[in-house]
A and B are shown apart, each in its own frame.
Chain A
Amino acid sequence: MSPHRIAGRDQGAPIRFSFDGEAIEGRAGDTLASALMASGVRLMGRSFKLHRPRGVVTAGPEEPSALVTVVRPGRRDVNLPATMVELFDGLEAHSQNRWPRLDLDLMSVTGRLGSLFSAGFYYKTFMGPQGAWERLYEPLIRRAAGLGHASTEADPDSYEIVHAHCEVLVIGSGLAGLSAARAAGEAGRRVIVLEQDRAFGGGALVDGALESWRSSTLAALSAMPEVRMLYRTTAVGAYGHGVVAALERVADHLPEPEPFQPRQRLYVIRARRIVLATGAVERLVALANNDVPGVMLATAARAYVNRHGAAPGRSAVFFVNNDEAYAAVRDLKAAGIAIAAVVDPREPTPIAAEAEAAGLPVLFGHEVTAVRGRRSVAGVRVRKRGTMQERAIACDLLGLSGGYSPQTQLAAQAQLGTAWIEAIAGFAAIGPSPDAEAFSAMIPAGAAAGVFGRLEAARHGAAAGARAAGLASDPAQPPAEAREPAVPPRRDGPIMPLWEVRGRGKAFVDLQNDVTADDMRQAAREGYRHVEHAKRYTTHGMGTDQGRTGGLVGAAVLAAAQGREVSAVGLSKPRPFVTPVSFGALAGAETGAHFKPERRLPLHGWHEAHGAVFVRIGLWLRPLVYSGGDTSWGPVVAEARAVRSGVGITDVSSLGKIDVRGRDAAAFLDRIYANGFSSLSVGKARYGLMLREDGIVFDDGTTSRLAEDHFIVTTTTGKATEALEHMEFHAQCVWPELDVRLANIADHWAQFAIAGPRSRAVLSRIVAGLDLSNEGFPFMAAGEAIIAGVPGRIFRISFSGELAYEVAVPAGHAAFVWDAIMAAGEPDGIRPYGLDALNLMRIEKGHVAGSELNGQTTAADLGLGRMLKKKGDFIGRALAGRPALAAADRLQLVGLHPVNKARRLRNGAHLVSAGEPKRSQGYLTAACMTSEGPHDWIGLALLEGGHGRHGERMIATSPVHDEAIEVEIASPHRLDPENARVKA
């Protein structure tokens, strides 16, 4: 057995692991920290700035110093507190922030020059010459800073977010937490208990007197079906309204997750009430060289001895300012560790006196002034308070206890107050006012609320649990004795607030970020007196441990430097997360290819099978061109030509479609659209333009009237969601007096455009119940029909500029009808066309689309100014008339083409005049090869005063492509401006 194991407590099965390449054996139940300790390893890392040797200080997630990298195949986790890494067979751990080796760190030269690297030194130097920062200083600083080397590979593990609900959420499973859970559970409430450790019990895990209570309470809880106990689960954030986020480390204790098992899971818990039973964390004391490996918090030393049978040292000195810590001293002594001295700055208290009487060498009224040793504690220097005479005591362990800070981060996040409690010299969560409770839903209990003592915490917890369950109006009512731990009431004497012992040497208040008490004083001297200023100036409390062991100590030093009380200076505001949370866990399963859901057309499979190249627009996948992967202009032009010369079909199912009914449907649309719809006849469609209230164009589309009180509105694909919400908002909130009922029918109807001079002939073959002749069903007609045996709707509308129809059928019949149209069109050479061809044709026709409806253009800019109703109110009416929206130099829609036909137009180009080649007068919004290709380019542009500049020659310049070509400005309506084709 290792000499660092405590005899008789070495029971776990052996587990092999390695640290910095050295094979070591630990025991089941060990953490990496306890296993290293039990094998005599003390030096576990190097500090952030000064590269000083560091060992383990705590036994929990508050660990500031012993941070390691754990490597698994394909996985690399950095900055993990060794205190939270559970040992598994084959674990490979590495120390960090050292070069080349942990025991020979050449960067530790910074530690020797430590006095240069005082608080904020980098703000005072490295200021020139220009460029030197990026080239010289910054790379050096960046390389020296940071801790571990993070993974640069994708993570093979998975994560999930799980939503949970309960009536009572208990955070923490110590005396208060388990008592609260039991009280709430016995009241029949749905309870969730969160415990960050791998075992329930909190402080009871290290206190033998509480073991029988712990096990009987756990047994009672496990018999309650509505009580859910989650271990390895940390509440990381409280967000008000009873919402708490909790991280479960599902598989971090395993070499890798089981098949289909996530590595970590983030619970989003919605609780009616929350019992905050997060306990307290022991504080360090700032004294010279309090960072040497072997300086440890007293509770941590006790935990290593009692939970792991690991000996933190052979000969210990304790420096404590409170009675709680004597339990640790007693337990270490019982484990056979020599107690060289207990240094207690106080006068004897009953408990301390008993300890002395029991044979412990207690030095009352004394203090430790410095730690001796460099890589390991060799001893301490001690003096009587108020005197200057020091003496040395040899030891290899200094157990520190500066008191205990209630863990109130979650309370502060949930806007619960904290208050200074003199008796514990700390801030504790205080019970909420009824108002605050309604928001935070949180009831603090036990040590988190400043209630120390085992029996007291259990009772306080039980009362909080009962109150959270809505039971007791009297929180003082004690629970049945059978449920209480069999321990005597607390009789501790008072703590003596003790933050710092001034001496020679660096006295750290933040071990992780290498912040010393001198740094805090310097910050105060330089005016960074507020705790938030000092934190930002010195980086105090900004590490992964969030300064949990030294935060208040630093604040106290800062306060003292200003002659103020620490209770007045306070702590910086704790923000989520309580402990660091991986990206993976916060992201959950919806990442990568599934970052956003995909919307697929009902005919997606058909498009895919027919060589469609898909484009991702918003959530949609839409066919761009049917070319089997060829993304050149050739296949696009071929598709467009097929339409212009014969017939083609395209899937426009992604358009927004809104069913509008009600007595006031027409009146409603009159207000929603800038043009009128009450004048539209039943059986007709009309192009409509929606404005925003500020007079800018919002969306467009074709709307049809199927009955007096029934319209079908179509919106663009891109604005479908927004347009529906825009209409719902106005229907419900602005004009609630109108009888208008909206239904989203976008996904019910698949919609295809059949376009081209042969489209009527093709459709006639499969449409029944509708006369498709030009007279019977003219341009802008709309009606119901049977299409290939399926009841649907037909609209004679055209985006391509050709004779065209849009056919809508229920989506479950889309494939059937599409196939029928393809078959019917075969004699005419029908072919599918994609978004590129559609876009090409609309550019030729001069129809506007998303790139012109860019949220900056008015109807007039787009040449649609005449559409605006002269009479009656509509959204955007008033503000569209503002002077700047009618200015002559506004950007207006024009068409254009290269003067030299051999040149291509570039989307993204700006328009400049030859005389002013640096002043943009507008820009291209669209450019394409025409259906007459192959070397014929046209484009649309928004140009200053463009409506009056047709025929003018300009330069389309794209400096990023090093191109500038001469173009001629023209009407945007290049194809068939008389609309003869669409009306044919």
Chain B
Amino acid sequence: MLRITCPHCGPRDEIEFRYRGDASLSRPGPEDDAKAFQRYAYERENPAGMHLEWWLHVGGCRRALKLQRDTASHVIGGAGEP
């Protein structure tokens, strides 16, 4: 079970959070074409190792946090605000 330290609420169980995926992606803008959005919507680096990701603390402060987590070991490197 992950214990995620929310920058606002402190360490909490993973069930309080909703995962929202790769935080290294940034959404293309109004001027970008379908190809850019295709990459954004579908293509992932999906590393086995440190991964920067979004988590919403829906069961706590309802704030989003960016988490550095090792997807292989679940060691958490750190959490910060957007």
Which residues of A pack against B, CB within 8 Å?
Answer: 239-243, 268, 270, 415, 435, 438-439, 693-694, 725, 728-729, 732-734, 736, 872-873, 878-879, 881-882
Contact of B74 among A439, A725, A728, A881 (CB under 8 A): A439
Residue-wise, chain B 5-38 has the 8 Å CB interface mask toward A (1 for contact) of 0000001010000101001000111101110111
Name the A residues within 8 Å of B58 (CB-CB): 725
Name the B residues within 8 Å of A728 (CB-CB): 56, 62, 64
In the complex the two chains form, is B74's CB within 8 Å of A733's CB? no
Residue-wise, chain B 64-82 has the 8 Å CB interface mask toward A (1 for contact) of 1000000001111000001
In the complex the two chains form, is A879's CB within 8 Å of B34's CB? yes
In the complex the two chains form, is A243's CB within 8 Å of B3's CB? yes
In the complex the two chains form, is A729's CB within 8 Å of B2's CB? no
- Complex CA gap A412/B10 in Å reads 27
In the complex the two chains form, is B37's CB within 8 Å of A733's CB? no
Minimal beta-carbon separation of A170 from chain B (angstroms): 20
- Complex CA gap A878/B32 in Å reads 8
Task: Select from chain B the residue with minimum beta-carbon distance to A736.
Answer: B82
Minimal beta-carbon separation of B31 from chain A (angstroms): 9
In the complex the two chains form, is B75's CB within 8 Å of A438's CB? yes
In the complex the two chains form, is A693's CB within 8 Å of B82's CB? no
Name the B residues within 8 Å of A239 (CB-CB): 1
In the complex the two chains form, is B63's CB within 8 Å of A732's CB? yes
Residue-wise, chain B 28-58 has the 8 Å CB interface mask toward A (1 for contact) of 1110111011101110000000000010101
Contact of B20 among A438, A729, A872 (CB under 8 A): A729
In the complex the two chains form, is B38's CB within 8 Å of A415's CB? no
Task: Knowing A270-B3, A882-B34, say if A435 contacts B75 (CB, 8 Å).
Answer: yes
In the complex the two chains form, is B82's CB within 8 Å of A694's CB? no
Name the A residues within 8 Å of B20 (CB-CB): 725, 729, 733
In the complex the two chains form, is A243's CB within 8 Å of B1's CB? yes
Name the B residues within 8 Å of A693 (CB-CB): 27, 37, 40-41
In the complex the two chains form, is A873's CB within 8 Å of B29's CB? yes
Task: Select from chain B the residue with minimum beta-carbon distance to A873.
Answer: B30
- Complex CA gap A881/B36 in Å reads 13
- Complex CA gap A879/B41 in Å reads 9
In the complex the two chains form, is A872's CB within 8 Å of B64's CB? no
- Complex CA gap A415/B41 in Å reads 34
Name the B residues within 8 Å of A736 (CB-CB): 82
- Complex CA gap A78/B64 in Å reads 47
Name the A residues within 8 Å of B63 (CB-CB): 732
| Closest 10 pairs between A and B when the two form their complex, measured CB to CB | A873-B30, A241-B3, A878-B37, A732-B64, A239-B1, A878-B34, A243-B1, A439-B75, A693-B41, A733-B64
In the complex the two chains form, is B82's CB within 8 Å of A241's CB? no
In the complex the two chains form, is B27's CB within 8 Å of A734's CB? yes
In the complex the two chains form, is B73's CB within 8 Å of A439's CB? yes
Minimal beta-carbon separation of B51 from chain A (angstroms): 15
- Complex CA gap A241/B11 in Å reads 10
Task: Knowing A693-B41, A729-B20, A729-B64, say if A878 contacts B74 (CB, 8 Å).
Answer: no
13 more A-B residue pairs beyond the given contacts A270-B3, A270-B13, A733-B64, with a C-beta to C-beta distance below 8 A: A240-B1, A241-B3, A242-B3, A243-B3, A415-B73, A435-B75, A693-B41, A725-B20, A725-B58, A729-B20, A734-B27, A736-B82, A878-B36
Task: Select from chain A the residue with minimum beta-carbon distance to B20.
Answer: A729
In the complex the two chains form, is A241's CB within 8 Å of B34's CB? no
Task: Select from chain A the residue with minimum beta-carbon distance to B23.
Answer: A733
Name the B residues within 8 Å of A882 (CB-CB): 34
Task: Select from chain A the residue with minimum beta-carbon distance to B40.
Answer: A693
- Complex CA gap A438/B70 in Å reads 13
- Complex CA gap A873/B64 in Å reads 23
Task: Select from chain B the residue with minimum beta-carbon distance to A694.
Answer: B41
- Complex CA gap A270/B75 in Å reads 16
What are 11 A-to-B residue pairs whose CB atoms are below 8 Å?
A240-B2, A242-B3, A268-B1, A693-B27, A693-B37, A693-B41, A694-B41, A732-B56, A732-B82, A878-B32, A878-B33
Name the B residues within 8 Å of A435 (CB-CB): 75
Task: Select from chain A the residue with minimum beta-carbon distance to B30.
Answer: A873
Minimal beta-carbon separation of B78 from chain A (angstroms): 12
In the complex the two chains form, is A879's CB within 8 Å of B38's CB? yes
In the complex the two chains form, is A733's CB within 8 Å of B41's CB? no
Task: Select from chain B the residue with minimum beta-carbon distance to A243.
Answer: B1
- Complex CA gap A499/B30 in Å reads 71
In the complex the two chains form, is B75's CB within 8 Å of A879's CB? no
Name the A residues within 8 Å of B56 (CB-CB): 725, 728-729, 732
In the complex the two chains form, is B54's CB within 8 Å of A729's CB? yes
- Complex CA gap A415/B2 in Å reads 14
- Complex CA gap A881/B38 in Å reads 11
Contact of B1 among A241, A694, A729, A734 (CB under 8 A): A241
Minimal beta-carbon separation of A324 from chain B (angstroms): 36
- Complex CA gap A242/B20 in Å reads 25
- Complex CA gap A186/B76 in Å reads 31
- Complex CA gap A81/B68 in Å reads 44
Among B23, B34, B36, which residue has the most Cβ atoms of chain A within 10 A? B34
Task: Select from chain B the residue with minimum beta-carbon distance to A165.
Answer: B11
In the complex the two chains form, is B30's CB within 8 Å of A872's CB? yes
Minimal beta-carbon separation of A15 from chain B (angstroms): 40
- Complex CA gap A721/B18 in Å reads 11
- Complex CA gap A439/B77 in Å reads 10
Task: Select from chain B the residue with minimum beta-carbon distance to A879.
Answer: B37
Task: Select from chain B the residue with minimum beta-carbon distance to A270.
Answer: B3
- Complex CA gap A710/B27 in Å reads 26
Minimal beta-carbon separation of B18 from chain A (angstroms): 6
- Complex CA gap A983/B10 in Å reads 53
Minimal beta-carbon separation of B68 from chain A (angstroms): 13
Minimal beta-carbon separation of B26 from chain A (angstroms): 8
- Complex CA gap A439/B76 in Å reads 8
Contact of B18 among A725, A732, A734 (CB under 8 A): A725
Name the B residues within 8 Å of A438 (CB-CB): 75
Minimal beta-carbon separation of B76 from chain A (angstroms): 8
- Complex CA gap A333/B49 in Å reads 58
Name the A residues within 8 Å of B33 (CB-CB): 878
Task: Select from chain A the residue with minimum beta-carbon distance to B63.
Answer: A732
- Complex CA gap A729/B64 in Å reads 7
- Complex CA gap A438/B73 in Å reads 12
Task: Knowing A435-B75, A693-B40, A693-B41, say if A878 contacts B3 (CB, 8 Å).
Answer: no
Name the B residues within 8 Å of A725 (CB-CB): 18, 20, 56, 58
Minimal beta-carbon separation of A476 from chain B (angstroms): 28
Name the A residues within 8 Å of B11 (CB-CB): 270
Minimal beta-carbon separation of A896 from chain B (angstroms): 34
Contact of B2 among A241, A694, A732 (CB under 8 A): A241
- Complex CA gap A630/B11 in Å reads 51
- Complex CA gap A729/B27 in Å reads 12
In the complex the two chains form, is A733's CB within 8 Å of B82's CB? yes
- Complex CA gap A242/B62 in Å reads 25
Among B38, B63, B64, B82, which residue has the most Cβ atoms of chain A within 10 A? B64
Minimal beta-carbon separation of A722 from chain B (angstroms): 9
Minimal beta-carbon separation of A741 from chain B (angstroms): 11
Task: Knowing A242-B3, A732-B82, say if A881 contacts B34 (CB, 8 Å).
Answer: yes
Among B1, B13, B40, which residue has the most Cβ atoms of chain A within 10 A? B1
Minimal beta-carbon separation of B38 from chain A (angstroms): 7
Task: Select from chain B the residue with minimum beta-carbon distance to A163.
Answer: B13
Name the A residues within 8 Å of B37 (CB-CB): 693, 878-879
- Complex CA gap A879/B32 in Å reads 11
Task: Select from chain B the residue with minimum beta-carbon distance to A876.
Answer: B37
Task: Select from chain A the residue with minimum beta-carbon distance to B5.
Answer: A241
Task: Select from chain A the residue with minimum beta-carbon distance to B12.
Answer: A270
- Complex CA gap A487/B68 in Å reads 50
- Complex CA gap A878/B62 in Å reads 29
Name the B residues within 8 Å of A878 (CB-CB): 28, 32-34, 36-37
Minimal beta-carbon separation of A267 from chain B (angstroms): 13
Name the A residues within 8 Å of B64 (CB-CB): 728-729, 732-733
- Complex CA gap A438/B78 in Å reads 12
- Complex CA gap A729/B75 in Å reads 24
- Complex CA gap A438/B5 in Å reads 13
Minimal beta-carbon separation of B62 from chain A (angstroms): 6
Name the A residues within 8 Å of B40 (CB-CB): 693
- Complex CA gap A764/B29 in Å reads 48
